[in-house]
Structure 1
Amino acid sequence: MTSLFSPLVPVMLPVLICAAIGVFWARFKQPYDAEFVRRSVIWIGAPALIVGTLGQTQISAELLQQSVVACLTMLACATVISLVFLVIFRLPVRDFLVPMVFGNTGNMGLPLCLFAFGDAGLTLALGVFLTTSTTHFSLGVAVLNGRQALKYTFASPLVWSGVLAAWMVLGNWQLPLAIQNSLHILGGMAIPLMLITLGISLNSLHSGAFVRSFLMGLARLGIGLAAGFAAVWLLDLDGLLRKVILLQAATPSAVFNYLLALQSRRNPNAVAGMVVSSTVLSFITIPLLLIYLGVSG
């Protein structure tokens, strides 16, 4: 059994350590300016990571397009499955559709794909993250509060950094070495800060009714993985892209779902419970998925 799980240690342990730092930091009541960190990641770290990684990595425009199409297919499948689930169990669609569909492809998905598949996996994962973020802050916000959808979309630096990165890939344009090195340093802060913030956020959320939260979190993981398998089957994907799509699809509900639910007053306590429970459960389900994907550390 030890030999079965030991290859996963280099993949999961960095994620667990960074998230645990956030949990213990909050437990010991150390000061943490979450808003400053959030803005630093969204406005500096993540855009630098997107532009720097996609700009330096030799990825074809065709492969980047495939990752975007695969992600959109995955999200479409997750939407359909989630709608069926919510209707069957008579749960409010506008409250729970968004947290069911949108997984944590940033805070958790990016480091997992990096540690599991290297720089090539991170590049494809960034394509998925960019597509998910753009959809989340446009169509997702439209479901919660349609009046602010365009505002969130065009005000997001993630969207504009993605446009710049896509332009660079399509035009086969390289940044000067000094700019690349600067982006490498700035982008390097994004992943650890996202994971530490995830730990801080989980410690501050209240799960509410345990059984309901557990079942909703389990449903999110099951729906996400089912949508991932549906997408790779529909598009006949194989190789690294298939593995990245499945791993990103299996991530728990994003912490941003709680923030948006709180802002839109869409049952935030229940959404918080889903975020907490799905994240805790993912530390069991994701290692099992990594074994299925043949990750060797």
Structure 2
Amino acid sequence: MSLISPLVPIIVPVILCAAIGVFWVRFKQPFDHEFVRRIVLWISAPALIVGTLGKTVISAELLQHVLLASMCMLAFTAVFAAVACVLLRLSLRDFLIPLVFGNFGNMGLPLCLFAFGQEGLAIGLGVFLVTTISHFSFGVAVLSGKAMIRGVLSSPVIYAGVFACLLIFNHWHLPLALQNTLELLGGISIPLMLITLGVSLSSLRLQGVGKSLGLGCLRLLVGLGGGVATVYVLDLEGMVRNVVLLQSATPAAVFNYLLAMQYRREPDTVAGMVVSSTLISFISIPVLLYFLGVR
């Protein structure tokens, strides 16, 4: 029990907030996915990025290190996922992206915050920024067969990330009134992400349990493998190491299912993969946190 109790304040808030979404659906309450998605992507997530990175003491050198580590993590994960698809005779077009892109936002950011505080959240946001850009560009291009530059350039998250980088690189500080406003707006992002995760999971159904379970386990393995390879190659230490490993171990993102459905890329199997990897992660992530020294 002494091994588990320190992890309870980290994992339980994630589970309880997601459970609100599950019960919301069970009690047949209306939930406007599109409205919530737009609130998060257009207002609260950009505010969280600028507000957190703008006030957290993070050097330009550290931010560059985080962005590089995030790109390396995705690259290694993509290589491992591609090899796994070839060996298991899975369609690269259908399953490469769901295997590469974890739930870096809805689950990763709350975990970084609860496990490592504001500094961990700031580093996690750097990972989130890189992975979001990659998902909206490379990920959509693989699934659709065409480049999606316009989609990337129309995302407020991208511009928020650029502005936050300018703040850090130029040692600028926001006026207190604006900083407080961003903190207020950004504060709704993480609860909304978790509730939306619960709503989405309760709406998905496992199809082909064996294949879905196998793919869910594979996502967690190739993701963590990409994180471990990044830590080894870049010789990461301290908080950056911990956040990269934690973010790499997140389950498949719900957004993968939405894209699979939009482009008709095995949506039922991807849905099962999202559900199974998320359920498994409630066991695997506490184990990882314990080995990362979170006590």
Amino acid at match of 2:36: V
Give, in whole Å, the separation in 2 of the partners of 1:232 and 1:108.
21
TM-score (norm 2): 0.99
Give, in whole Å, the separation in 2 of the partners of 1:31 and 1:159.
30
Task: Kindly report structure 1 stretches of 4+ aligned residues shifted beyond 2 Å.
Answer: none
Amino acid at match of 2:159: W
**1:103-142 mapped onto 2 (5 Å cutoff):** 103-142=102-141
Give, in whole Å, the separation in 1 of the partners of 2:144 and 2:156.
20
1:255 aligns with 254
Residue ranges of structure 1 left out of the alignment (5+ in a row)? none
After TM superposition, give the deviation of residue 288 of structure 1 in Å: 0.2
Q: Secondary structure of the equivalent of 1:3?
A: coil
After TM superposition, give the deviation of residue 198 of structure 1 in Å: 0.1
Judge conservation of contact 2:250–2:281 (CA < 8 Å) in 1: yes
Give, in whole Å, the separation in 2 of the partners of 1:293 and 1:120.
16
After TM superposition, give the deviation of residue 100 of structure 1 in Å: 0.2
Judge conservation of contact 2:138–2:147 (CA < 8 Å) in 1: no
2:53 aligns with 54
1:242 aligns with 241
1:90 aligns with 89
TM-score (norm 1): 0.98
Judge conservation of contact 2:216–2:274 (CA < 8 Å) in 1: yes
Give, in whole Å, the separation in 1 of the partners of 2:103 and 2:177.
32
Equivalent pairs, count: 295
1:169 aligns with 168
Root-mean-square deviation (Å): 0.7
Give, in whole Å, the separation in 2 of the partners of 1:164 and 1:207.
41
1:202 aligns with 201
Judge conservation of contact 2:242–2:292 (CA < 8 Å) in 1: yes
Amino acid at match of 1:193: L
Q: Deviations over 1:41-93 (max 9, x none)?
A: 01001000000001111110110011110011110000100011000111110
After TM superposition, give the deviation of residue 149 of structure 1 in Å: 1.3
After TM superposition, give the deviation of residue 211 of structure 1 in Å: 0.9
1:288 aligns with 287
Give, in whole Å, the separation in 1 of the partners of 2:79 and 2:12.
34
Judge conservation of contact 2:101–2:252 (CA < 8 Å) in 1: yes
**1:65-80 mapped onto 2 (5 Å cutoff):** 65-80=64-79
2:3 aligns with 4
Identity %: 60
2:15 aligns with 16
Amino acid at match of 2:221: G
Give, in whole Å, the separation in 1 of the partners of 2:49 and 2:234.
25
After TM superposition, give the deviation of residue 29 of structure 1 in Å: 0.7
Q: Secondary structure of the equivalent of 2:252?
A: coil
Amino acid at match of 1:84: V
After TM superposition, give the deviation of residue 206 of structure 1 in Å: 1.5
Give, in whole Å, the separation in 1 of the partners of 2:147 and 2:44.
24
Amino acid at match of 1:239: G
After TM superposition, give the deviation of residue 148 of structure 1 in Å: 5.0
After TM superposition, the structure 1 stretch with the greater mean CA deviation from structure 2, 32-41 or 192-201, is 32-41
Give, in whole Å, the separation in 2 of the partners of 1:186 and 1:70.
28
Give, in whole Å, the separation in 2 of the partners of 1:273 and 1:148.
27
After TM superposition, the structure 1 stretch with the greater mean CA deviation from structure 2, 148-157 or 89-98, is 148-157
Give, in whole Å, the separation in 1 of the partners of 2:237 and 2:248.
15
Q: Deviations over 1:137-190 (max 9, x none)?
A: 011111111435112211111111111111111111111000000000000000
